[in-house]
Amino acid sequence: MTADEILAKLQASFPGLVKSEAPLKDYPTWTVPAGSVRAVFERLHSKFSFNYLDMVTATDWSGPANPKGYPQSPAVTPAAAGAPSATAKDVFEVVYIVSALSTGMRLCLRCELPRKEAAVPSLYGIFMASDWQEREVYDMYGIKFEGHPNLKRILTQDDQQGHPLRKDYEHVADKFD
C-alpha cells in the first residue's frame, strides 16, 4: 500500500489530515490537526503496522533567533542576526517521523500549534520512544504533551528559566557568565 492510499483511508475518519504543501524532502508529508494527533498515530500503529517512531522534534517559526539567547555574542556570521524572513509565522510546528519496519515505509507528520500555551496529545503508550523525545521538546520549546506521565525538563537543569530553542529566548546571566 502506498502512502497516498493510506492517506485516503485515514482521511475518511480524520478530515483535517492533509498533504503538506512544503514536504520534508523525499518523505510523504502530512499535516495533522493537533486534536487528532494521538488518534492518527494509534490508527497508523494498529492498522498500518507503523511500529517505529523515529523522531519527534519541533520548529519555532516565529523568525530568526534573538541574539540575546546566547551567553556570548553569537554573531560569527553576517546572517546570525538577520531580519525577519518571509516564512515567519507565530506558530510552533511539531514534527514526527514514523516508519514501518516490516515494509520500510517512512512518513513525516507535522502539526501546527499556536505559540501561546501550545499543547498536543502525547504518544506515550503507543510508542515508548516518545517518552524522552517529548520531554526534550517540552524542555526546549515549552510545548505541553497532554497525557505524558512524567513531563519535566530533561537536558537543561530543573531550575532553568525559559525554553532555549524558542526563537525569542533570552539568556539569563548566571554565576558562570
Contacts of 53 (CB under 8 A, 6+ apart): 96, 97, 98, 123, 127, 129, 130, 133
Q: Is the CB of 104 or the CB of 173 nearer to other proteins?
A: 104
Q: Shortest approach of other proteins to residue 151 CB, angstroms?
A: 14
Give the residue carrying C-alpha cell 475518511.
Answer: 12
CB atoms within 10 A of CB 25: 7
Binding window for other proteins (CB under 8 A); candidates: 5-13, 35-43, 98-106, 113-121? 98-106
Q: Residue 12 Cβ, how far from other proteins at the closest point, in Å?
A: 27
Which one of the spans 8-16, 32-40, 113-121, 155-163 is the region binding other proteins (CB under 8 A)? 155-163
- Cα 54 to its chain centre, rounded Å, is 12
Q: Can residue 62 be called a binding residue for other proteins (CB under 8 A)?
A: no
Among 135, 153, 154, CA closest to 145: 135
114 neighbors 130 (Cβ within 8 angstroms): no
Binding region for other proteins (CB under 8 A) out of 5-13, 18-26, 35-43, 111-119: 18-26
- 134 burial (CB, 10 Å; 0-12 / 13-18 / 19+) is buried
Asked if 158 is part of the footprint of other proteins (rule: CB under 8 A), the reply reads yes
Positions in the binding site for other proteins (CB under 8 A): 22-27, 51-55, 57, 59-60, 64-65, 67, 69-70, 74-80, 82, 85, 87, 95, 97, 101, 104, 106, 108, 127-129, 131-133, 136, 140, 153-159, 164-165
